[in-house]
Amino acid sequence: MPGAATRTLGVVTEHREIDEILQRAADGGRITPEEALLLYTDAPFHALGSAADAVRRRRYPDGIVTYIIERNINYTNVCLTACKFCAFYRAPKHAEGWVRSLDDILARCAETVELGGTQIMFQGGHHPDFGVEYYEEHFAAIKKHYPQLVIHSLGASEIVHMAKISGVSTEEALRRIHAAGLDSLAGAGAEILPARPRTAIAPLKESGERWLEVMEQAHRQGIESTVTMLMGTGETNAERIEHLRMIREVQDRTGGFRSFIPYTYQPENNHLKGRTQATNVEYLRLLAVARLFLDNVPHLQSSWLTTGKDVGQLSLHMGVDDLGSIMLEENVISSAGARHRSNLLQLVWMIRDADRVPAQRDTLYRHLRVHHTPADDPTDERVHSHVSSIALDPGGRTSLDLADAT
């Protein structure tokens, strides 16, 4: 362990044990789940952020914070799984259920390309008729017409569902949709991995262990992914740290998780209404602990879409190196009350105003455009994140252009 003279951190707390853990983590040492929990509950906020930021600085000394332009295509809201926190789904045969046609999906891909987007997130319910064949057909069609778009989509839950519908193994389902065009898995559906809180909010979903098993199968086939976490549905602090532990264990074996993305539960229009919501401080502390504990996951993304721009900026001082996306379409968390919106120029400003250098990235986190100075900033004001669908008219303007809510 480094001596005091070689310490990364200048901050010293009044708690010797916490001080030692923070110093070790900031210097690149591994911390235990018990130590992570102690930091999460007891470390002074500023010291915790300083340690996480020291790790971020060592990994990314250029001070660059990335974002991506993508489109979330919600192909159906029909779902058998009925998660209690979900305001998006409709049960099969419900009058408000819908399925987007392939032509509609391709039109949305065309708009994404037109607006400079590089990535598609295909996200929807567990439709009773959609097996592996549905995804093969749609991914192949997207790749045929828009080979420049990266399909970064689905998570282990959808793989489990489609394999069951088609009567094949999850390994085979993964192989087939990868061959058809899937580039990487988005890692949605992780929710909260430990059994008690997961069963409470998503009793019909596969277990956290099964979710991770399928992600591990994907990684072994060369399909990398990100991994998410839903905070604020009633889980304990220890269960939050257990979620991180379960991810780190798989990552030690596969190295396939590119990024960790926690986000907060949105309480509107669902069956969990009124349950505890994670506070912004809890969210920021979790980000910092994740940066220190997940020493094997390269990127850490904060979800300003659910917490807002101010928290998004603060997160850049808690170990975060990526602000996620300008999402040209999003319906799932918006249905549950996520109201924060931005356009590309505002997002770039948010990053610069937090004393970081903004850069557009691709799915592999390669920098496409670094905005070193305002002279390098993007100029396309049409690039907004949206509550719902958009459509470009022939003049190139958005016809359903919902105003910024913030």
191 is in an annotated binding site: yes
303 is in an annotated binding site: yes
Q: How far apart are CA 389 and CA 406, in angstroms?
A: 19
Which of residues 29 and 337 has its CB atom nearest to ligand SF4 in the complex? 337
Residues in contact with ligand SF4 by the rule CB under 6 A: 79, 81-83, 86, 88-89, 125-126, 157
Q: How far apart are CA 319 and CA 301, in angstroms?
A: 9
385 is in an annotated binding site: no
Closest CA to 104 of 329, 300, 270: 329
Which of residues 123 and 360 has its CB atom nearest to ligand SF4 in the complex? 123
139 is in an annotated binding site: no
Q: Which stretches within 295-337 are classed as H helix?
A: 304-307, 309-315, 332-335
Min separation Cβ 205 and ligand SF4, Å: 6
Min separation Cβ 83 and ligand SF4, Å: 3
Residue 325's beta-bridge partner residues? Answer: 68
Min separation Cβ 231 and ligand SF4, Å: 15
Min separation Cβ 304 and ligand SF4, Å: 21
Which of residues 124 and 181 has its CB atom nearest to ligand SF4 in the complex? 124
Which of residues 125 and 358 has its CB atom nearest to ligand SF4 in the complex? 125
83 is in an annotated binding site: yes
CB 329 within 8 A of CB 74: yes
Closest CA to 304 of 257, 351, 272: 351
Q: How far apart are CA 342 and CA 256, in angstroms?
A: 30
* Measured distance between the N- and C-terminal CA atoms of the chain, rounded to whole angstroms: 46
Which of residues 124 and 324 has its CB atom nearest to ligand SF4 in the complex? 124
109 is in an annotated binding site: no
Closest CA to 365 of 52, 12, 37, 65: 65
Q: Which stretches within 185-308 are classed as H helix?
A: 195-201, 208-220, 237-254, 280-293, 304-307
Min separation Cβ 241 and ligand SF4, Å: 23
Annotated binding site for (3R)-3-methyl-D-ornithine: 303, 325
Annotated binding site: 79, 83, 85-86, 191, 303, 325
